[in-house]
Structures are given as C-alpha cells and as structure tokens.
Amino acid sequence: MTVTKYSASGNDFVMMIAQEKADRSELAKKLCHRQNGVGADGLVVVLPHPEYDFEWEFYNSDGSVADMCGNASRAVAHFAHEKGIAKNNKTEFLTGAGVIRATINGVYVVSDMVPPDIISEEIEEYGEKWWLINSGVPHLIALRDDIEDFNIEEARVLRHKYNANVDICTVKEDTLYVRTYERGVEDETLACGTGMVACFIRCHKEGRVPDKMKVLPTSGEELYVSYEEGVYRFGGKVTKTFIAETLI
C-alpha cells in the first residue's frame, strides 16, 4: 500500500487512494499509530465520485469517523491536485459535512467551509459562557483574555458532555489565537481547522474581528479565516512530508 503523509499547520494526515468504500477504522488506527504505524492525526481516503472530483472518507487516529476536518480539506486538495484527480487549481469534493470547494496556489490552499450551524450561544460551564457551533464538526468555544492555561481535564469532561471538540480563543491586536482539544485524538492538538473557523465565527458574530483575520493555533503557523460573499474561507500552507510503502 502506498501512502502519502501531509502536514497542515501542525495537523498531520495519511493520504491514500481507493476505488471502493469500506470500513477502514482498524486500518486508520494502525496507520495513525505514532510508534507502530506511519503516525498521524487522521487518515484520508480519496474515492471516485460521479459528480465531484472525488469523495473522501475521513478517520480520526482512534478509528472514529469525522464528517469534516479543515486542515485535512486543504491537504487533500493539494494531494488530489498532484495526483491529477483535481484537473486544475480548483477542486470540488464530497465530505460527510457536504461539498468542499478548494483553491490550490502552490503550497497555499484555501477551502470554502460548509455553512455553519450555531447551535447555542448560552452554555454556562466552569464559570464561562460557551458557544456551540458546528463548522463541519461540533465545537464548544470559550472566549478569554488569556489562553495560556488550558485545563485538559475540564476540556475532556466537556468533550464527552457535549460530544464536541473544545476550543479556547483570544483576540490580541490583529491575531486570533486558538487552542483545541480534539475528539478522536482525545488531547490538545497543534491545530484544528474547523476549530479555528468556529472561533472566528463566534468572534465575528460578536463584532470582535473584521471580515478577514490572521489565526495562530498552538503550532504557531500563520493561517487566515475570512467571511466573503456569505462564505467562510480557511487558508494556509500545506506540506507534503513523504511518500512511503507500508506493509500494514
């Protein structure tokens, strides 16, 4: 089996091409294992589709299925472009959350995100006000003055209570800073695309940020989220790390 490893703002993914849908949960766990496999936050399987350039299956490192992943959407667009599956610098592909449109400009990729669903703006937990937003997958978001302290145990409790990723964010000058606890990984990750978009949506709705904003996740890599023509867009660089044959 030939796989390609990508990194997108600190999230890493194993990419592969298949011709038929299948339950690849066990394969995802094996490939994503940091010691005994390739090592990744998720597995992306590219499948043929009669209407769009392709369809994906996305698995978290624990084998669970996720509808959407912002960073993976940028990485897989670049992967499909290199493989000739996306015929030009634009691609449309189907995810569990809907159709994603992406533009590839060298290693810089911008994804048009699916329309968000603001589920609640009035959740009270641990003395804070949280918003629950589905930006492809659900995110529970708290806005703070400082995000240096991220209580992982509290985040884990909230993750299971609301079946959502948990994000804390702050706005300082021209930058939105975000930290995310991700389901499926079950820990804080270096970056989460749908989490950064969800945090931007809350801050934008509250008038705290302009229509385009620089976003820095824990990885420190610079990304941009914008609201243009009624669409939330998420852009940044992706890195193809290596291509390998695996016996898994």
Name the residue among 59, 78, 79, 69 with its Cα closest to residue 113: 69
Rounded-to-integer distance, Cα 7 and Cα 209, Å = 27
* Alpha-carbon span 159 to 149, nearest angstrom: 17
Q: State the Cα–Cα distance between residues 15 and 233, nearest whole angstrom.
A: 23
SS3 130: strand
Active-site residue identified among 32, 192, 199, 203: 192
Catalytic-residue membership of 199: no
CA distance 94 to 162: 26
The CA distance from 72 to 61, in Å, is 13
> Which is catalytic among the residues 69, 169, 199, 203?
69
- Tell me, yes or no, if 69 is annotated catalytic: yes
Tally of CB atoms within 10 A around 234: 27
Q: Count the neighbouring beta carbons within 10 Å of the beta carbon of residue 106.
A: 9
Q: Which residues are catalytic?
A: 69, 192
